Structure 1
Amino acid sequence: MLRLALATSRGRLLSLAGPFVALLFAVALVASCGLLMDSGLRARVPAERYGAAPVVVAGQQQVTLDTEEPDLGQSLSEPVAIPAVLARKIAKVPGVTRVVPETSFPVGLTGADGRVIGRSWGSAGLTPYTLREGRAPATAGEIVVDVALGRKVGEKARVAGRDGVREYTVTGVAGPGLARQASVFFTGERAEELFARPGKVSAFGVFGEGERLAERVERALGDSVAVYAGDQRGLAENASAREGREMLIALSGSLGGVIVMVAVLVVSGAFGLAVRQRDREIALLRAIGATPKQVRAMIGREALAVGTVAAVPGLPLGVAVGRWLFDQFVARGMVPEGFTPVVGPVPMLVAAGVGLVTAWLAARGAVRRAASIKPTEALGEAAVERRELGRGRMIVGLVFLALGASASGLSVAAAGETAAASAGAIVLLLITAAALLGPWLVQLAVRLAGGVVGRTSPVSGYLAVANTRTAAKRLAAVATPLILMFAFASTTLFAQSTLGHAATQQALEGNRADYVLESAGPGLPPDVVRAARDLPGVKGVTETIGTTVIADTDEMGSRTLKPLDAIGLTVPAHGIDLGVTSGSLDRLRGDRVALSTLTAGSLGASVGDTVRLRLGDGTPVKLTVVALYERGLGYGDVALPYPLVRDHSEAGMAGRVYVTGGTAERLTALAPGLTVLDRAGAGAAVNAAQEFSDWINLLVLGLIIVFIAISVVNTLVTATGARTREFALLRLIGGTRRQVRGMVRWEALLVGGLAVITGTLIAAPTLMALSYGVTGSPLPHVPSVAYAAMVAATMGLAYVATLTPARTVLLGRPAEQIRG
């Protein structure tokens, strides 16, 4: 059977081109996702600030539930401080010679761009920093600066910290100079004041002897802290390193799952078309004595051969795509500089395995009927396509359709995040149903449009309608990837536009301030805010801090942790309107909290109830709900008292300040580097932030659409090219080239129109569920220009990919073609 499979494959290279191309790109995309995941799992970030310390002890940046059930945990958005008394315990570990505490915090240095790290001079040896000029700081008004900051000994420098802007004297300049993590060193006492966590430190650098020093320290301290060694020390320096690592793992996992789903549908359609083009050959093999098992084995081995050949160029292409994606993430700051992509054997083997298994299953499924029916029936169906669906395919298709329709109805009846979360399941169910029931959809389209087409074009239109009726399965195999492309693209694109539009609108409608203050540094210090309040004409000032909290809640009878975007704000709130529906924000003080209506619905909370949250640094709190508000997408799911968020944030400064009244000139003069935005400027900043967050979704969508589009073109070209004998016969009985081209043109329009309408019907309930869940309205935001462009692209793709090979086929002589 292997020899026969290879022999038949050599004679069927055109029909196997579709499966080959689909498998090649499927393997490439799975390999690129595997590279990203492997890079996240085995992330190595060279240590800078802790470069001299063999071992670093820092806080656990994940919080988990104290339950017996498996719990992946949730990452914390703020660095976790650890008790300073742990130094004694670490010092007792065998082999430890020295323990150096580190207190680090972001500060703003006038004239410096980017992130500047405030530190105690006592931790300079962890890098190690050494003085290039001058001396160490001796008083609270003295600092040593990184040589990368370009300051000189003796000059004055203004530094913004959580207690305000202070002027310091530069007493020393230290190297080696870290451009990405430039440091400003204070005295130990002053660093503790700015760190503002009495009795705690950021980390410990541990020096000692022995190859397993980190293991001994980890055994001594247990799970309460994290111990880093080697290249892992870089993860302890910067929260963005941990976030980048987790982003790579989460993104590659979700993207890989979608790609596998799309690949199964596309490859199945490609193999189904290839096998249908060989119905006569398979029927003859059955007629001369081949058993069903032998036929299935032949096609299965043939598919494995195609999959193996496709993996050869697919794997290096996947590595190139993965590296490109990685570089894009680094360029946009989503992955910190210093991260390096990892190309390991496991992701490559998995990608090749996925391609081979998908090919084998798709081919075996496509040949199942031809191999199982009687040889006489197989010969009959090879001559005339069987019009009715197989019983199994029909039943499974109807089940998926019923499940999709039920999920759509239940999601609209549900509220809050339940409706939004069901959108992905709805689109998968309906796309699968459309793929299985494709021949029915083609026949339905012909019944609806056949009369109009026939009257419009009596010859070419009539031929197209007649051919579509008798070859519904073949056209369904062509239409399925187009339906998949349109449905997936419209769902992803318009889900993004719906969420983005709602968030932008809520942010704009809730901004009642005349000006919004921002800073290029870590935040706005309190004395700048106080000065703004004292300006003539200023009626109100509201400070805000963005953060992420984790809700400890019950879902379906089990405890779970849910990350939520949150905002800390001062009250009474001036210039910012969250759209309160019940309760009052004026009571947002102490141990109180306000929730968006969406979050309140998912947590089952209302005014007066108590909710359990973990703040950005993991501190557990129990807070009483005092208000519910509508504009959660624009301002965050949770609103907290400003002092509570500030005291548990790394910078301890306001991220944004909303000012009512005053003038832009006086506000700008409050501090160097201060950005003052009016309402129009604040709206533009919101749009820019939304565009940046949408980039990742567009990137993912683009990769998948390119994959589907290439498969669509290849399938259409293959299907049209395989109709050489049919076109030749039409010309021999009197049809002209123009009439045959007209028939193909009408078929392309029917298939393209079917893809647009079916894709729209699939996307509509999905988007309605999402929109209703997050905005309360079942009408999604669908830009008309974008929808029209997608329709034009789908129709154009179907038209060009069908007409181009048809024109080539029609150039030949029909008498010679009919003999071939």
Structure 2
Amino acid sequence: MLGLAFATVRGRLPSLVGSVLALLFAAVLVTACGVLMETGLRAQIRPERYGAAPVVVAGPQSTSILKRDDGPAEMTESVPLQEPATIPASLAGDLAKVPGVRNVVPELTFPVGLLDAAGRAVHGRAHGHAWESARLTPYTLRAGRAPASPDEIVLDAVLADAARLKVGATARVLGRDGLHAYTVAGVAGAGGSRQPAVFFSAPRAAELFGHRDRVSAFGVFGSGDPEHLKDRIDAALPTSKNAAARVSLDLKDGLKDGDAPAAAGPVTYVGDERGFAEEPRASAARETLVMLSGSLAGISIMVAAFVVAGTFGLALRQRGREIALLRAIGATPAQIRSMIGKEALLIGAVASAAGVPLGVAVGRWMFGELVSKGMVPDVFPLTLGPVPMLIAVALGTATAWLSARGAVRRATRIRPTEALGEAAAEPRALGRARTVTGLVFLALGTALCVVAMSVAGETAAMSAGGIVIFLTVGAALLGPWLVRIAVALVGGALGRASRVGGYLAVANTRTGARRLAAVVSPLTLMLAFAGTIVFTQSTIGHATVRQAAEGMRADYVVGSAGPGVPADIARAVRALPGVAGVTEVIDTRVIGDFHELGERTLRPYRALGLTVPAHGLDLDVRAGSLDRLRGDAGNTVALSTLAAGSFGASVGDTVRLRLGDGTPITPTVVAVYDRGLGFGDVALPYDLTRAHTASGMADRLLVVGDGSTRDRLAAVSPALTVTDRAGAQADRDAAAELNDWVNLLALGMIIVFIAISVVNTLVMATAGRVREFALLRLVGGTRRQVLGVVRWEALLVGGVALIVGMAIAVPTLAAVSYGVTGSAVPHVRPVVLAAMVAATLGLAFAATLLPARAALAGRPAERIRG
């Protein structure tokens, strides 16, 4: 059968092009996702700041819970931290006692801004350190000396050159306690380090760091192999695995509702792992890549399996006469299955391997886009290995084999005479297994819709893809029923509208429902998927913009060219004539810890720290009062209605939260507000939030003032940037567009793949009707009449796809909209909807009529023998 398989593949190459293209593009998607996932899982960052320290002990970069404990099958969940975690300075003494440790160097890292004469930040955001930690890189003085007083600094050579500052010059640096002038005591250089650094004296660095009795990290110097030194440190201190075990024990045994788990201990880094210790964003970037590629790969594989199965099913239906003839001349079912299976293996392997190089290129391009948009730091390297490529080929080959074996199953189970009969006219009844499976998928999709409406926020939005897949697969399996129902509803009208073309189109549809269902399915998937993705984005985006516009009452928004707005500048702004109120705002992220669908989960939330009373900001409080949002003890919080629903909390209840640096708190809910999409789902006291951020400064000030206030604001400090309400809205829109871009980049590729598959399937289906068209010509039909039949069929196919696709998209969007905005009515732009309808019908007509014209070329008598 292997030889026969090669022979049939060679003889049917034109009819197999569709299957090859479907598998090729599936391999492209899977390979691209695999490249991103491998980068997220395996990439290492070359250490720069800690390049000279053999071992680094730093704070954790994620927080975890134990979701389920099944003995050896423990299931944990981790979420990256938004802010760098600090560790106790007292650990220096414990580290010094570890055998083999010679020296322990504390490290303080905090954001600062070096400003030029115009108040602009030089070389982006820099980091401040104490000069004593310069040896961790190492930095060496190229000119001048070390800082000896609080008003002296050492600049690294990159910053000094960019600012054109030399030893003895005056530099203005914006830090936690405001904008200060410093004398440049020295200029230092470090080979290979790209991180802009400003070095202060130890006492001054501690003031700017702002976390008393804590440090960012320790550089540990010792004798022997760093890996062995790391093992000794882990054994002696509550770090790494020991801390993780301690937290897991707290979560399993001692944690009750309202209790906060113990914070995770420090983590020990060696080798290339040290790069992650100095670049906290890298862990979040890894998580972003893994989550993005994982969700995209999962949807891609499901869509690819759906498309490839449909393509192979259509191709094998077109070979019905060939298979029936082989059965009639003595081929056994096992031989037929073996032949088709080997064909599928051959096609799957070749097509998938051909798609791998393009998939690698697409993965590189996607990674580059993520870096250019700031979603992944530029120090994060792309990692390429053979595993994603091998997986893409294996998945493509397996999908082809399973699809082919499933499609040929019925033809090999019936008698040869029945197979010949079915090759001439397809059976009307659906198989029992297909009917039951289709109904099950419809039930699963409906159930997922209900679940999406019962959860909130991100979980509801993430359920959209699953709902579409379940409902589309169910509709595809029951497709012949849907086609026959459509014919029953509009067949009479089509017959009256066109007595020749319409009548024949209706007759063809009734007898070829399975064939047309195979064509309707990818069109339905395209419309349902595209409509769900686009209108989910527009629904969330519209609600976000509306809430932000309605809640923003400030006349001016004050920002900074550096890492933030210090407290002394905020006090100066409050004292300005004409200023009626100022609210200091910190944008951060917190992590909620609650139960959802019976399982404990962690969920990140956008959060803001607020000074109260809040001027220039209306969060639309529904219960309680924001004025109670005070203090730095972590005992109060305000939640959006969506977040409160997730926690199952109301005013007076306590919730479990972890701040941006992982610090656990159990605050009492003092207010519930409605504009979480526009501003963030969690509001915290400003002093509490400030104490757990790296900068210790406000991200912006909301100012209520008169028309003359703007000039006064700009005069307070050269480091300030002042925008009016419209400018602030434009900045928010730009940030929202970036987030939408990431989602559309990922899922837009799937839509393109589906669109290509739609054209592929339509061309295959139409090109396989050469004999049918020739027969119509021989019995007296004109070329124009045959094309008329095809046009009416294309209209019928496009219409059924539109109705079914919308029937899938509407409940999906309603469920997502209700879960995210509280309203079951999604925001749909009529122009976009009209474009989707036009694209669906246009694809149906173009991909049907063009191959039909080619099929009608030549003499009918010659074509019917072909």
TM-score of Structure 1 vs Structure 2, range by shorter chain: over 0.9
Once the two structures are superposed, the pairs formed by residues 479-498 of structure 1 within 5 Å of their partners are 479-498=520-539
SS for the counterpart of 1:297 is helix
Counterpart Cα distance in 2 of 1:456 and 1:172: 89
Once the two structures are superposed, the pairs formed by residues 788-807 of structure 1 within 5 Å of their partners are 788-807=834-853
Counterpart of 1:72 in structure 2 is: 77
Of 87, 91, 102 in structure 1, the residue corresponding to residue 92 of structure 2 is 87
Of 272, 288, 291 in structure 2, the residue corresponding to residue 231 of structure 1 is 272
Measure how far apart 1:793 and its partner are. 1.4
Once the two structures are superposed, the pairs formed by residues 614-625 of structure 1 within 5 Å of their partners are 614-625=658-669
Q: Residue 658 of structure 1 aligns to which amino acid in structure 2?
A: L
Change (3 A) 1:557 1:29: closer
Counterpart Cα distance in 1 of 2:338 and 2:9: 14
Q: Residue 106 of structure 2 aligns to which amino acid in structure 1?
A: P
Measure how far apart 1:455 and its partner are. 2.5
Counterpart Cα distance in 2 of 1:361 and 1:520: 59
Of 694, 711, 718 in structure 2, the residue corresponding to residue 672 of structure 1 is 718
Counterpart of 1:697 in structure 2 is: 743
Counterpart of 1:533 in structure 2 is: 574
Counterpart Cα distance in 2 of 1:404 and 1:59: 43
Moved more, 547-556 or 88-97: 88-97
Q: Residue 642 of structure 1 aligns to which amino acid in structure 2?
A: Y
Residues 481, 712 of structure 1: 8 Å contact kept: yes
Counterpart of 2:234 in structure 1 is: 218
Q: Residue 728 of structure 1 aligns to which amino acid in structure 2?
A: A
Counterpart of 1:364 in structure 2 is: 405
Counterpart of 1:595 in structure 2 is: 639
Moved more, 414-423 or 715-724: 414-423
Counterpart of 2:140 in structure 1 is: 130
Once the two structures are superposed, the pairs formed by residues 162-173 of structure 1 within 5 Å of their partners are 162-173=176-187
Counterpart of 1:344 in structure 2 is: 385
Measured against aligned partners, the alpha-carbon deviations of 1:483-508 in whole angstroms (never above 9, x if no partner) come to 11111111111111111111111111
| Count of equivalent residues | 820
Measure how far apart 1:291 and its partner are. 2.3
Counterpart Cα distance in 2 of 1:422 and 1:816: 53
Q: Residue 774 of structure 2 aligns to which amino acid in structure 1?
A: A
Counterpart of 1:142 in structure 2 is: 152
Measure how far apart 1:406 and its partner are. 4.3
Counterpart of 1:21 in structure 2 is: 21
Change (3 A) 1:506 1:390: same
Of 808, 815, 833 in structure 2, the residue corresponding to residue 787 of structure 1 is 833
SS for the counterpart of 2:77 is coil
Counterpart Cα distance in 1 of 2:405 and 2:561: 60
Measure how far apart 1:761 and its partner are. 1.0
Measure how far apart 1:572 and its partner are. 0.3
Change (3 A) 1:565 1:368: same
Quick check: 1:176 aligned with 2:190? yes
Counterpart Cα distance in 2 of 1:396 and 1:281: 29
Measure how far apart 1:145 and its partner are. 1.0
Change (3 A) 1:416 1:98: closer
Q: Residue 287 of structure 2 aligns to which amino acid in structure 1?
A: E
Counterpart of 2:131 in structure 1 is: 121
Counterpart of 1:549 in structure 2 is: 590
Residues 420, 772 of structure 1: 8 Å contact kept: no
Q: Residue 380 of structure 1 aligns to which amino acid in structure 2?
A: G
Measure how far apart 1:468 and its partner are. 1.4
Once the two structures are superposed, the pairs formed by residues 226-375 of structure 1 within 5 Å of their partners are 226-375=267-416
Measure how far apart 1:178 and its partner are. 7.3
Counterpart of 2:816 in structure 1 is: 770
- TM-score, normalising length from structure 1? 0.97
Counterpart of 2:258 in structure 1 is: none
Measured against aligned partners, the alpha-carbon deviations of 1:388-411 in whole angstroms (never above 9, x if no partner) come to 222211121122223333443565
Counterpart of 1:725 in structure 2 is: 771
Of 182, 188, 191 in structure 1, the residue corresponding to residue 205 of structure 2 is 191
Q: Residue 634 of structure 1 aligns to which amino acid in structure 2?
A: G
Residues 145, 185 of structure 1: 8 Å contact kept: yes
Moved more, 413-422 or 257-266: 413-422
Counterpart of 1:46 in structure 2 is: 46
Measured against aligned partners, the alpha-carbon deviations of 1:759-784 in whole angstroms (never above 9, x if no partner) come to 11101001101111121211101111
Once the two structures are superposed, the pairs formed by residues 426-505 of structure 1 within 5 Å of their partners are 426-505=467-546
SS for the counterpart of 1:347 is helix
Q: Residue 687 of structure 2 aligns to which amino acid in structure 1?
A: P
Measured against aligned partners, the alpha-carbon deviations of 1:57-78 in whole angstroms (never above 9, x if no partner) come to 2111122236744213222111
Counterpart of 2:606 in structure 1 is: 565
Q: Residue 745 of structure 1 aligns to which amino acid in structure 2?
A: R
SS for the counterpart of 1:542 is strand
Q: Residue 727 of structure 2 aligns to which amino acid in structure 1?
A: G
Counterpart of 1:636 in structure 2 is: 680
Quick check: 1:37 aligned with 2:47? no
Counterpart of 2:58 in structure 1 is: 58
SS for the counterpart of 1:98 is strand
Counterpart Cα distance in 2 of 1:255 and 1:85: 45
SS for the counterpart of 1:735 is coil
Q: Residue 94 of structure 2 aligns to which amino acid in structure 1?
A: K
Counterpart Cα distance in 2 of 1:495 and 1:335: 25
Residues 417, 598 of structure 1: 8 Å contact kept: no
Residues 146, 177 of structure 1: 8 Å contact kept: no
Residues 130, 176 of structure 1: 8 Å contact kept: yes
Measure how far apart 1:806 and its partner are. 1.3
- TM-score, normalising length from structure 2? 0.92
Unaligned runs of 5+ in 1: none
Of 87, 98, 105 in structure 1, the residue corresponding to residue 103 of structure 2 is 98
Change (3 A) 1:557 1:800: closer
Counterpart Cα distance in 2 of 1:370 and 1:205: 70
Quick check: 1:205 aligned with 2:219? yes
Measured against aligned partners, the alpha-carbon deviations of 1:623-646 in whole angstroms (never above 9, x if no partner) come to 111110000111111110000000
Counterpart Cα distance in 2 of 1:669 and 1:178: 40
Measure how far apart 1:426 and its partner are. 2.4
Measured against aligned partners, the alpha-carbon deviations of 1:248-282 in whole angstroms (never above 9, x if no partner) come to 11111111000001001100100000110111111
SS for the counterpart of 1:73 is strand
Identity of aligned residues (%): 64
Measured against aligned partners, the alpha-carbon deviations of 1:402-449 in whole angstroms (never above 9, x if no partner) come to 333344356557777775565444222211111111112222222233
Residues 31, 322 of structure 1: 8 Å contact kept: yes
Counterpart Cα distance in 1 of 2:456 and 2:727: 34
Counterpart Cα distance in 1 of 2:755 and 2:599: 43
Change (3 A) 1:672 1:180: farther
Measure how far apart 1:758 and its partner are. 1.2
Counterpart Cα distance in 1 of 2:666 and 2:565: 28
Residues 58, 227 of structure 1: 8 Å contact kept: yes
Measured against aligned partners, the alpha-carbon deviations of 1:298-325 in whole angstroms (never above 9, x if no partner) come to 2112111110111221111111111111
Counterpart Cα distance in 2 of 1:422 and 1:244: 23
Measure how far apart 1:135 and its partner are. 1.2
Residues 756, 791 of structure 1: 8 Å contact kept: yes
Counterpart of 2:261 in structure 1 is: none
Counterpart Cα distance in 1 of 2:399 and 2:784: 40
Counterpart Cα distance in 1 of 2:417 and 2:787: 35
Residues 454, 465 of structure 1: 8 Å contact kept: yes
Measured against aligned partners, the alpha-carbon deviations of 1:773-802 in whole angstroms (never above 9, x if no partner) come to 121211101111111111111211121111
Residues 148, 178 of structure 1: 8 Å contact kept: no
Quick check: 1:613 aligned with 2:657? yes
Measure how far apart 1:96 and its partner are. 3.0
Change (3 A) 1:378 1:520: farther
SS for the counterpart of 1:206 is strand
Change (3 A) 1:523 1:413: closer
Counterpart Cα distance in 2 of 1:337 and 1:611: 37
Moved more, 529-538 or 399-408: 399-408
Residues 77, 601 of structure 2: 8 Å contact kept: no
Residues 265, 435 of structure 1: 8 Å contact kept: no
Counterpart Cα distance in 1 of 2:620 and 2:476: 44
